[in-house]
Structure 1
Amino acid sequence: MRRAAQPRPVGQKLEEFDAKFDAGEDISEYQEVSKGFRPGWEQKKVNVDIPVWMIDPLDTQARRIRQDFNRIAPNPAFSAIISAC
Structure 2
Amino acid sequence: MKTITAAELDKKFDDGEDVSEYFDWANARRINWEHELVELELPKAELAELDAEAARLNTSRHRLVSLWIRERLQQASKPAAE
- TM-score, normalised via structure 2 length: 0.33
Name the structure, 1 or 2, with higher relative contact order (CA <8 Å, separation 6+): 1
Decide which structure has greater helix share: 2
Choose 1 or 2 for highest CA Rg.
1
